[in-house]
A and B are shown apart, each in its own frame.
Chain A
């Protein structure tokens, strides 16, 4: 056992995070896996980075069927991996949809931006459960990151995590040109926040603001009131450009027959009002 642990890296011993092979198998079986061969599992513990890389590829190809590899890959990450292997291990583990997202957390502050992006993307996939709060906290902090890709990925991920507490920070990010924040705000905003986003029509690029307006319009009326949605459509109509027309027409086509009739009327009127609008192709 001691030797096996060494192969995974000394730091794992200290953190007490190395799961035994039997633990890994148990986890895999519990999730209904078993197609990930034991030989590949052993490869994950190799000293040779190329062999580990190959095992990660095997796991990724096996998909959720390689759930038996989850503890081993998690342990690999916690023990520390070189830059390209770390990114591959994060991506692989994320595809296996682990319940425990803690292996990703340290990598959200890694010095290599690509690794941070991978970690944040993985954390954004955290399933409902105790790990979500941690994931949301890490992603919210990542909005402050010096790297533009990291910030954008975090902004998108916060929407996926339904991190409503992060909306104020998402506004700060949007106002600093983290345009991915618009979509997440549209998915998460309360009435006051939705009004704040709507108020940015005209100040935020139209193709950006619509990524936030669209999810707002399709959210249930219980979350975003019908009159708010009508006001959004009216405000877009008032923009009066070809892009506004295309956006409204697209919504008009996709509007559910069971959706709000008032919004539908507003869309119809908006499309007509903007049909001869200038600009754009």
Chain B
């Protein structure tokens, strides 16, 4: 075996020469699907082998890429390791693998103690696995297609180097068998002792990551495949598989970035807008643990249900952007730009226990929470509506799209408190215009909270008392109409004559009154009709409003109402759109009067 410290580029003697269980060269593209035979043999061989849990740790890149800082999550001292960092470090098993300064290196994840380092000639790390004795590292070549794989013992001995022309993903190692995804569809099982490819797996879904979690091995990128007795059926779609439910989330976050390329040492938008999930224990049916997955949007952290559909369960507004994290059993661990690590309860979003401090701001952060269970005294356990209110009150423009999601969710919540929150936001003079539009849209979809809506309609623009944002009249009118609340009619009718209301407000009020108005609104309806029946064509909302008011007059106004309609039809100045509407209304009323009454048929029940 080669001693530590040898240049990676000079390890030709250890390059695998192929052979083994697949019968083809390592990473050969001439391989024919063996219907799972070879990978089934590997699975059977490893079935009784325990997979050690990985370290529970948060590791940040700090000092402008000059050091790693780490903190054990289950207690222990934080550590710092000075080394140039040129790619995102990887927590693999009990080690942290990093690259930079023309080296690849590994440190103990819980102490930061250097385990080994090797020259690379500048290759950038993009994946690593570790089984407790051997680390397997994949790296990108400086230019062109192809990757380098290294298998390194913890004592620094290089066990294997392979330089295939294909792009390798992020590997995992179990009992010295490396599982290496490549070409987005294969996972090759390599015996790092002799370099043989002992099995291969063909997956029908984009796959560039292999990792261990909770004592089991998984592959995936879009979804998760479990390495178990069913893995042999993968090419036929029969492997254990789970994916996150579809949900339109701000920034289109993904569970994994592609595993076949290096990720920058500093975090970017893709790190701040991410999905996180964890599979159930290997003894259980494969599913998403705790029934929750998590999404970040800069400073917002969403907890989402998995079934029966992806729905917002909770939201937390964080002080700083979340740049890394991990789903743990019972919760989520978030690492932020300030270098603070916080635990959240999976069910409520309450913060659990204390905050772990990496000691300084970080440029990026990776978190591993394999055996950790999220526990601790809960803080800030607020109802979802209140959590949303807090998130929406944040003035950070960067959160706009994330807040839009919350408004949509708020619109769908059945409890009346949601209406109250939306009403408060709608009249907040400091609210961004785009958010205000989202608030109005959400209010229009509400189907609860009618008393609060009617009370809100009772408020009007008042320059003297600095009420400079009128209530969201049009959305409230639409919601009250949809809920069929006749008691809203008096409040709605007063908005026919509020000059601070928009033309669209007035139109929607009139449309609501066409159905909701009662006899007590007739004088207001007639007054509005008289004032605006000859309104100009533009803005078109006003003639539309007059038409709707006329509908109510026909319904409620009796003979005097009919006379008003007749007179308007004859008046040359009457708006053409209004006249057409009036004519149609009278014709419809005439047809209704002329229709014979229908006697119950002899077979109908009395």
Chain A interface residues toward B at CB < 8 A:
5-6, 9-15, 47-49, 78-83, 85, 106-107, 109-111, 113, 116, 143-147, 150-151, 169, 172-173, 176
Contacts and interface: CB of A to CB of B under 8 A. Distances in A.
Interface in B557-587: 557, 560-561, 563-568, 570-573
B530 A11 contact: yes
A111 B542 contact: yes
A144 B461 contact: yes
Given A10-B566, A80-B533, A82-B573, 8 more contacts: A9-B568, A9-B571, A10-B563, A13-B560, A81-B534, A143-B464, A144-B461, A145-B499
Contacts of A173: 463-464
Contact of B500 (A81, A146, A169, A176): A146
Chain B interface extent, by class: 35 or more
B462 A144 contact: yes
B565 A10 contact: yes
Contacts of A116: 499
A82 B572 contact: no
A6 B464 contact: no
Contacts of A151: 463
A145 B506 contact: no
Interface in B502-524: 503, 506
A10 B461 contact: no
A185 to B, nearest CB: 14
B498 interface: yes
Contacts, number: 100
Contact of B531 (A12, A80, A147): A80
B534 A80 contact: yes
B297 interface: no
Interface of B: 460-466, 497-500, 503, 506, 526-527, 529-536, 542, 557, 560-561, 563-568, 570-573
A176 B464 contact: yes
B478 to A, nearest CB: 20
Contacts of B572: 47-49
A83 B532 CA distance: 9
12 contacts: A10-B566, A11-B527, A11-B530, A14-B557, A47-B571, A47-B572, A80-B530, A82-B573, A83-B535, A106-B527, A111-B499, A145-B500
Contacts of B536: 82-83
Contacts of B500: 145-146
A177 to B, nearest CB: 10
A85 B536 CA distance: 12
A107 B431 CA distance: 33
B498 A13 contact: no
A46 to B, nearest CB: 10
**Chain A interface helix/strand/loop/mixed:** helix
Nearest to B545: A111
Contacts of B566: 6, 10
Contacts of B527: 11, 106
B463 A110 contact: no
Contacts of A172: 464-465
B501 to A, nearest CB: 9
Contacts of B571: 9, 47
A10 B553 CA distance: 12
Contacts of A106: 497, 527, 531
Closest 5 CB pairs of A and B: A10-B567, A80-B530, A11-B530, A10-B564, A82-B534
A143 B465 CA distance: 10
Given A47-B572, A110-B531, A146 B463 contact: yes
Nearest to B558: A14
Contact of B564 (A13, A47, A109, A144): A13
Nearest to A81: B534
A49 B529 contact: no
Nearest to B527: A106
A13 B464 CA distance: 37
A81 B571 CA distance: 11
Contacts of A107: 531
B498 A109 contact: yes
Contacts of A79: 530
A175 to B, nearest CB: 9
B573 A49 contact: yes
B500 to A, nearest CB: 4
A145 B499 CA distance: 7
A150 B461 CA distance: 14
A113 B499 CA distance: 8
A113 B500 CA distance: 10
Contacts of B506: 111
B530 A9 contact: yes
A152 B110 CA distance: 73
Contacts of A6: 566-567, 570
Given A11-B564, A81-B534, A82-B573, A109 B497 contact: yes
A106 B500 CA distance: 15
A14 B560 contact: yes
A144 B499 contact: no
A126 to B, nearest CB: 21
Nearest to B506: A111
Nearest to B534: A82
Contacts of B565: 10
Contact of B464 (A81, A82, A111, A169): A169
